[in-house]
């Protein structure tokens, strides 16, 4: 039923107090509320969050946007410095200051002279040559009249610069700047007040490296013939160690670590993480490379290739949102009225199915407001409701051209205006029972099914028997065949089984030769200091998060944005505010992309490499950090456009520049026709994918989601109308549904329906009811320790030297902080044990409420839980920067301490026999008393 406020159903006072209004008006309001609930919510509604976002997920944004994001708006004055340096240098060479008028040989000669000048000892003279090369890489924008000309110049100049060795020369310059910046004298002077001026020279160097990298990546992606051989050479170069023995990616990770440790506070973090992202993306490969590698590795071990691609499937999905409630209808009907009380009970806000059930028996057939339904179709309003979730999906590998055309004509997932002819006689959408995903089942699930069936019908179980069906009835045979038909063996399962065989039979089991793939080379390079690198990346992500408070920021990521002189006018203040917000968004975008890229490549290369990185992310509080990021009004974050197109490069330097005022800022913000920010949607999806990868099949980490009360946070994210983002949110909700209790499931049936419709089905997975064995309390600490033991055994066998360095706490910015380690470890353990409580829980739905199974947070530990949440930052705070490092928890795990060489002192060697005689042999111990 729908509850209507009493003020809406009473006449004015002068017509009689307490007289009920015309019943016809009340019935009309009620019908309107019910019809809105039954209508397809894909239509634009005044209270809905708008149409589906036409965002297309990709590795990167457009080339123009990626280049523009390299520069802050406060760097505008430095563009003129580049032109001035070029003109002075050309005057020194007695040449006209026009690059385009020079022939190819003259251009190469000029570049060679500039490279010679990069090696002089005079810093100002050296940086003048660097600025000239930056001007060339920027496309000689002072000599062109359009963005296309500037882009073409950049494309041509990058070929010349790379072929002549400019990239390697600037790597040497970067090494010099790192050594200079990390000197104790520089740090002591600048650590208190760092501004844009302090990073001027290193920003020039990083800009040249970034432009070369991004241009080569873009041209390689386009398949340009001019760049084909050059791109292959460049990829090989960035995947090979530098002359000092380090990979470029490792050097950049070291810069981030030094910045976070306070050794180099003037490093421009935005440019560093952007360059690291593009170097890693080009060196490892993007989504297409990942897909091909996965199928290639699966074929090598005898597995079938993957036919379903998440990106392709989600393009055929329709984003869903809850139907309009009675509150929405009444507010639209009376927009000027200010209601002081809610018009619907709270428990009905997320459960409009009650009204659907009432309407299902009264109204059927056609819907007058639905122009696509026909009277003879036989599809009722209930099916129209279901069409929001269940829509036709044709497998690209099995569909015909006719089916694909029909599917395209019948649905428009992104709500975009169609250029096709108007559908005059288009039939109604055929609702098929096919879901977007093919169901899967693991071998573990089949074994569990057989064990239960054998115990029920035969009375005993067969350990290790995966196929015998003797004595079982025919329905069990059919169920077993169905499960086997949908069984999916992942690449990780094969790799884990191989590692178990090697650990069980180390001599007889043959281990394959380690192939030096780009991911393998990167893993071996970052393994000694991987814990410090993960902590540094998460620190930068925390500082750039919009939900972080200034008092909790231990690092200043705004060092390369803040000018030396603060703004004096309102226009300058507005520009700086927009620039700072844009700066943070770009950092979040780059850091999230880096972490996700590493996780995906390591998982394909070897699952234990992925697990090693994942554990360190979890120990560094990545899960509460991501939840804290989403604990905001995510729709506003997605729609926020912290950009001024008039100030983006190259628009800010090409052509006549308008006088920026308040009106120009407004116009600049509305120049984009997209109602969302590409980088913000990209960042949100990346963080959700990271969270899924960290938590999938890890029950201890799923319980962390429950303890941190992530369900309401994730439900708010469902308001963003994008199918791919909603898919990953629903996956996270599905993982923890069995732990949330019956009351939560009862109050969130619409969410459960979306999970059933959008997320892949796992046969025999009782995720919605919590009756299976996996929903019972677990020894979460033992689970993590077992995984850690397997990972460390893998690292010790394949990389013994690097693993010992990692266990010894070596690396940049590392340190031993046993107290912080114990506190964080104890906090994690107590959080996990908090999920093992039994009995009913609080009224918020985090409880059992009489249902069988399901661990949760007990009432007796609510105060402790709130304190833990506060410590972890989910409700206001966040863990301190003293987070776990590998050296801190090495004693707790399986890190090979027994395998290390311990140097004994001469004093110990000389007195060992005496100590042994007195303390051991002559000491009488009453073992019975002990």
Return the minimum-mean-pLDDT range out of 66-75, 323-332, 594-603, 681-690.
323-332
Q: How far apart are CA 660 and CA 573, in angstroms?
A: 13
pLDDT exceeding 70 applies to what percent of the chain? Answer: 67
Write the DSSP string, 405-443.
HHHHHH--TT-PPP-SPP-SSPPPPP--S--SS--BB-H
Q: Is the pLDDT of residue 889 over 70?
A: no
Determine the length of the chain. 930
Contact 674, 64 (CB under 8 A): no
Q: Is the pLDDT of residue 110 over 60?
A: yes
The average confidence (pLDDT) of the chain is 75
**Confidence class of residue 371 from pLDDT cuts 50, 70 and 90?**
very low
Looking at residues 742-768, what average pLDDT do you find? Answer: 89
Q: Is the pLDDT of residue 423 over 60?
A: no
**Confidence class of residue 490 from pLDDT cuts 50, 70 and 90?**
very high
**Confidence class of residue 661 from pLDDT cuts 50, 70 and 90?**
low
**Confidence class of residue 586 from pLDDT cuts 50, 70 and 90?**
very high
**Confidence class of residue 310 from pLDDT cuts 50, 70 and 90?**
confident
Q: How far apart are CA 293 and CA 255, in angstroms?
A: 30
Return the minimum-mean-pLDDT range out of 115-124, 136-145, 371-380, 510-519.
371-380
Looking at residues 387-414, what average pLDDT do you find? Answer: 39
Return the minimum-mean-pLDDT range out of 510-524, 546-560, 588-602, 863-877.
863-877
**Confidence class of residue 812 from pLDDT cuts 50, 70 and 90?**
very low
Closest CA to 63 of 191, 151, 190, 185: 151
Tell me which residue has tokens 């290790």: 464
At 901 the pLDDT is 64
Tokens found for residue 897: 């301490």
Q: Is the pLDDT of residue 442 over 70?
A: yes
How many CB atoms lie under 10 A from the CB of residue 635?
Answer: 16
**Confidence class of residue 744 from pLDDT cuts 50, 70 and 90?**
very high
More confident residue, 420 or 779: 779
Contact 67, 414 (CB under 8 A): no
At 660 the pLDDT is 64
* 720 cis-preceded (ω within 30 degrees of 0): no
**Confidence class of residue 653 from pLDDT cuts 50, 70 and 90?**
confident
At 659 the pLDDT is 66
At 337 the pLDDT is 47
Contact 572, 256 (CB under 8 A): no
Q: Is the pLDDT of residue 631 over 70?
A: yes
At 770 the pLDDT is 67
Write the DSSP string, 82-139.
HHHHHHHHHHHTT--S-STTS-HHHHHHHHHHHHHHTTSS-HHHHHHHHHHHHHHHTT
Q: Is the pLDDT of residue 57 over 60?
A: yes
Q: pLDDT for 705-721, tens place per residue?
A: 999 999 999 999 999 99
At 664 the pLDDT is 53
Q: Is the pLDDT of residue 670 over 60?
A: no
Q: Which residues contact 717 (CB under 8 A, 6 or more apart)?
A: 630, 634, 684, 688, 725, 729
Q: pLDDT for 822-851, tens place per residue?
A: 333 444 444 444 333 333 333 333 333 333
Q: In 182-242, where does DSSP find H-type helix?
A: 184-190, 200-222, 228-238
pLDDT exceeding 90 applies to what percent of the chain? Answer: 43
Q: pLDDT for 144-171, tens place per residue?
A: 888 999 999 999 999 999 999 999 999 9
Q: How far apart are CA 17 and CA 109, in angstroms?
A: 95
Tell me which residue has tokens 């639905």: 370
Write the DSSP string, 702-737.
HHHHHHTTHHHHHHHHTTS--HHHHHHHHHHHHHHH
Q: In 458-569, where does DSSP find H-type helix?
A: 474-485, 491-504, 518-526, 530-544
Q: What is the DSSP letter of 920?
A: I
Looking at residues 618-634, what average pLDDT do you find? Answer: 94
Report the alpha-carbon angle 271-277-279, nearest 5.
100
Contact 725, 681 (CB under 8 A): yes
Looking at residues 421-447, what average pLDDT do you find? Answer: 64
Tell me which residue has tokens 């299976």: 772
More confident residue, 571 or 811: 571
At 333 the pLDDT is 56
Q: In 505-529, where does DSSP find H-type helix?
A: 518-526
Q: Is the pLDDT of residue 484 over 60?
A: yes
How many CB atoms lie under 10 A from the CB of residue 542?
Answer: 26
Q: What is the DSSP letter of 918?
A: I
Q: Is the pLDDT of residue 444 over 60?
A: yes
More confident residue, 700 or 388: 700
Judge residue 439's burial from the number of C-beta atoms within 10 Å of its C-beta, 0-12 exposed, 13-18 middle, 19 or more buried: middle
At 656 the pLDDT is 74
At 250 the pLDDT is 96
Q: pLDDT for 676-699, tens place per residue?
A: 999 999 999 999 999 999 999 998
Looking at residues 26-47, what average pLDDT do you find? Answer: 42
Q: What is the DSSP letter of 297?
A: H
How many CB atoms lie under 10 A from the CB of residue 270?
Answer: 26
Looking at residues 877-895, what average pLDDT do you find? Answer: 36
At 192 the pLDDT is 58
**Confidence class of residue 879 from pLDDT cuts 50, 70 and 90?**
very low
402-416, 641-655, 748-762 — most confident range: 748-762
Judge residue 176's burial from the number of C-beta atoms within 10 Å of its C-beta, 0-12 exposed, 13-18 middle, 19 or more buried: middle
Q: pLDDT for 267-283, tens place per residue?
A: 999 999 999 999 999 99
At 331 the pLDDT is 55
């Amino acid at each position: 039923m729908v509850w209507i406020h009493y003020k809406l159903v009473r006449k004015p006072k002068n017509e009689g107090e307490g007289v009920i209004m015309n019943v016809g008006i009340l019935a009309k309001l009620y019908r309107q509320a019910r019809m809105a609930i039954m209508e397809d919510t894909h239509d634009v509604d005044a209270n809905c969050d708008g149409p589906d976002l036409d965002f297309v997920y990709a590795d990167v944004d457009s080339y123009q946007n990626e280049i523009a994001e390299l520069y802050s708006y406060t760097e505008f004055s430095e563009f003129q410095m580049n032109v001035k340096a070029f003109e002075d240098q050309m005057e020194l060479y007695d040449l006209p200051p026009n690059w385009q008028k020079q022939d190819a040989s003259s251009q190469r000669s000029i570049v060679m002279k500039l490279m010679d000048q990069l090696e002089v000892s005079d810093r100002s003279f050296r940086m003048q040559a660097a600025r000239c090369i930056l001007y060339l890489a920027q496309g000689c924008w002072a000599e062109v009249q359009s963005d296309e000309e500037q882009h073409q110049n950049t494309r041509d100049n990058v070929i010349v610069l790379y072929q002549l060795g400019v990239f390697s020369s600037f790597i040497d310059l970067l090494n010099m700047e790192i050594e200079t910046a990390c000197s104790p004298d520089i740090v002591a002077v600048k650590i208190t007040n760092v501004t844009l001026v302090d990073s001027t020279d290193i920003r020039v160097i990083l800009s040249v490296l970034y432009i070369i990298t991004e241009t080569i990546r873009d041209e390689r992606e386009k398949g340009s013939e001019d760049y084909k051989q050059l791109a292959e050479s460049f990829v090989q170069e960035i995947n090979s160690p530098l002359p000092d023995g380090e990979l470029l990616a490792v050097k950049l990770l070291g810069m981030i670590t030094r910045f976070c440790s306070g050794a180099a506070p003037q490093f421009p973090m935005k440019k560093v993480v952007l360059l690291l992202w593009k170097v890693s993306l080009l060196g490892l490969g993007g989504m297409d490379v990942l897909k091909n590698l996965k199928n290639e590795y699966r074929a090598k071990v005898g597995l079938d290739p993957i036919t379903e691609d998440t990106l392709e499937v989600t393009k055929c999905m329709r984003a869903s949102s809850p139907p309009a409630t009675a509150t929405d209808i009444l507010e639209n009907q009376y927009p000027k009225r200010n209601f002081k009380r809610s018009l619907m009970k709270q428990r009905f806000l997320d459960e409009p199915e009650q009204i659907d059930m009432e309407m299902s028996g009264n109204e059927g057939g056609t819907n007058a407001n639905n122009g696509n339904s026909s009277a003879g179709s036989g599809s009722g309003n209930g099916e129209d409701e279901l069409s929001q979730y269940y829509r036709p999906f044709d497998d690209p590998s099995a569909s015909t051209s006719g089916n694909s055309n029909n599917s395209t004509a019948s649905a428009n997932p992104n709500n975009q205006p169609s250029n096709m002819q108007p559908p005059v006689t288009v039939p109604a959408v055929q609702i098929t029972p096919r879901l977007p995903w093919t169901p899967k089942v693991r071998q573990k699930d089949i074994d569990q099914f057989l064990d239960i069936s054998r115990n029920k019908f035969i009375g005993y179980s067969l350990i290790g028997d995966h196929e015998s069906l003797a004595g079982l009835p025919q329905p069990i045979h059919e169920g077993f065949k169905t499960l086997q038909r949908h069984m999916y063996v992942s690449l990780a399962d094969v790799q884990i089984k191989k590692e178990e065989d090697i650990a069980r039979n180390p001599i007889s089991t043959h281990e394959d030769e380690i192939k030096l793939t780009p991911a393998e080379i990167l893993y071996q390079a970052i393994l000694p200091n991987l814990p410090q690198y993960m902590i540094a990346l998460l620190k930068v992500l925390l500082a750039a998060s919009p939900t972080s408070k200034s008092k909790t920021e231990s690092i200043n990521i705004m060092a390369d944005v803040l000018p030396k002189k603060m703004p004096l006018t309102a226009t300058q203040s507005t520009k700086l505010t927009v620039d700072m917000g844009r700066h943070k968004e770009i950092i979040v975008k780059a850091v999230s992309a880096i972490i996700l890229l590493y996780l995906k490549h390591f998982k394909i290369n070897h699952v234990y490499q992925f697990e090693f990185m994942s554990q360190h992310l979890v120990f560094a509080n990545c899960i509460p950090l991501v939840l804290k990021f989403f604990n905001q009004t995510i729709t506003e974050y997605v729609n926020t456009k912290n950009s001024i197109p008039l100030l983006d490069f190259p628009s800010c330097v090409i052509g006549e520049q308008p006088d920026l005022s308040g009106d120009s800022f407004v116009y600049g913000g509305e120049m984009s026709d997209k109602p969302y920010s590409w980088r913000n949607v990209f960042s949100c999806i990346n963080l959700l994918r990271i969270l899924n990868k960290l938590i999938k099949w890890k029950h201890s980490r799923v319980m962390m989601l429950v303890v941190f009360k992530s369900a309401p946070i994730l439900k708010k994210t469902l308001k963003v109308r994008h199918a791919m983002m909603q898919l990953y949110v629903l996956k996270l909700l599905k993982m923890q549904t069995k732990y949330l209790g019956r009351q939560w499931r009862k109050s969130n049936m619409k969410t459960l329906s979306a999970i059933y419709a959008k997320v892949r089905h796992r046969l025999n997975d009782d995720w919605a009811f919590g009756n299976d064995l996996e929903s019972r309390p677990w020894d979460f600490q033992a689970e993590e320790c077992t995984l850690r033991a397997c990972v460390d055994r893998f690292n010790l066998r394949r990389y013994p030297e690097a693993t010992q360095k990692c266990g010894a706490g070596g690396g940049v910015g590392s340190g031993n902080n046993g107290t912080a380690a114990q506190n964080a470890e104890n906090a994690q353990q107590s959080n996990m044990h908090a999920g093992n409580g039994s009995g009913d829980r609080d009224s918020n739905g985090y409880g059992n409420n009489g249902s069988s199974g399901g661990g949760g947070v007990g009432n007796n530990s609510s105060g402790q839980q709130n304190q833990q949440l506060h410590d972890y930052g989910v409700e206001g705070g966040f863990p301190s920067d003293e987070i776990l490092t590998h050296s801190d928890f090495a004693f707790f795990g399986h890190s090979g301490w027994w395998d290390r060489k311990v140097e004994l002192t001469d004093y110990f060697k000389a007195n060992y026999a005496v100590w042994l005689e007195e303390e051991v042999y002559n000491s009488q111990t009453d073992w019975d008393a002990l």
